[in-house]
Amino acid sequence: MKIPNVFILWLISLIFTAICISGNVEGKIVVDGIEREYILHIPKNYEGTALTPLVMVFHGGGGTASQIQGHTKFDKLSDKENFMVVYPNAVDKNWNDGRIGDKLPMDRDDVKFISVLIDTLSALYKIDTKRVFSTGISNGAFFSIYLAYKLSTKILAIAPVCGSIPENLSKDFKTEYPVSLLLINGTKDPLVKYDGGAVGFKDDESGRGTSIAAEWTIKIWQKNNDCQQSTKIEEMNDEDGDDDCKATKYTTYRCKDNTEVVLIKITGGGHTWPGASQYLPKIIVGRVCNDFNATEVIWDFFKSRTNRE
């Protein structure tokens, strides 16, 4: 009798898990006949006894798992705060994130890949399945939103950076369970426009689809989570007076299941991860806001979320 490849991969991973308790693990699983890859960072204090939160970090279009791992630097925070981080790899460096466009991989079921990945990691490690979170930039931000839309039974909160709800999903956007949202968007983002429109440098709606305005995304999410209109507005500290950016935080409390809907509006911010490096010239992607560290702010948001009953 031939043993299925997926079982062999699982068995190898299980054996390796017993040997490697912390650090980075490069894993593979087969979903719909396609071998899918990911990098898992196991915190240095992980012992396999206590339930451990899981943060999924998704790269942008054209990126890779190792690239977003180095850019966001979640590993260091993972070791300090004791949570797992997984960096999945997309096929051909692009996620099927719910947008409709000629240049997008709409036929591949990446949601299924992530659902299987969560189940696989939960079987191999002591994952707290009630505290699974998702974040990412650009294509990874859109995908985080799409995962909340499709997998709200498995995801407690998301924190997209440089993303919004695709226009084609906006009219009927509704998650099965309320999901907390932290949206971080810049007003000078040249690819994912703060006020909505065609995604990308060209105004070609048929290519990479269209997104709605950041603030309209927040309104839809407030309705989705049955929020009462109780929003706190905070001006974030201007830690870097030379970055030509200013961040304002809008927090909507009193939502269903103790969820929150938060927008960090970065006036002057570009298509960038706050607090990280200027990975491309400003003339191409805009400015990096250095007034706060997005990785730290995102984890603070995630760890403050309460489990659903």
Q: Is 82 exposed, middle or buried (0-12, 13-18, 19+ CB in 10 A)?
A: middle
**Dist. CA 51–CA 13, nearest whole Å:** 19
Does 18 score more than 50 pLDDT? no
Q: How far apart are CA 39 and CA 248, in angstroms?
A: 33
| 144: in domain | yes
More confident residue, 308 or 176: 176
Check which CATH number belongs to the domain holding 194 and give it. Answer: 3.40.50.1820
Res. 222 pLDDT band, cuts 50 70 90? very high
Are the beta carbons of 187 and 267 closer than 8 angstroms?
yes
309 in any annotated domain: no
- The 10s digit of each residue's pLDDT in 70-128 is 999 999 999 999 999 999 999 999 999 999 988 888 889 999 999 999 999 999 999 99
- Residues 275-304 as b/e (b if ≥16 CB within 10 A, e otherwise) read bbeebeeeeebbbbbbbbbbbebbbebbee
**pLDDT above 70 coverage of the chain, percent:** 92
Evaluate whether residue 308 is within a structural domain.
no
Q: Is 110 among the domain residues?
A: yes
Domains held by the chain: number: 1
Question: 130 vs 54, 73, 120, 125, 229, CA distance in Å?
Answer: 9, 24, 15, 14, 27
Of residues 265, 195, 251, the one with CA closest to residue 221: 251
The boundaries of the domain holding residue 223 are: 5-303
d(CA 266, CA 182): 13
User: How far from the centroid of its chain's Cα atoms is residue 58's Cα?
Assistant: 6
Q: Which residue has the higher pLDDT, 135 or 9?
A: 135
Residue 4 has what pLDDT? 57
Q: What contacts 71, CB < 8 A, 6 or more positions away?
A: 273, 276, 277, 279
Residue 244 lies in a domain: yes
Residue 183 lies in a domain: yes
Angle, vertex CA 295, rays to CA 221 and CA 21, nearest 5 = 115
Examine residue 75 and state whether it is found in any structural domain, yes or no: yes
- Report in angstroms the alpha-carbon separations of 23 from 10, 17, 42, 118: 19, 11, 5, 19
Q: Can you list the pairs that 101-106 forms with residues at least 24 positions away whose Cβ atoms lie under 8 Å?
A: 101/199, 101/205, 101/206, 101/207, 101/208, 101/209, 102/206, 102/207, 103/207, 103/208, 104/208, 104/209
What is the pTM (predicted TM-score) of this model? 0.92
Is residue 121 within 8 A of residue 46, CB to CB? The reply is no
Whether 157 is covered by a domain: the verdict is yes
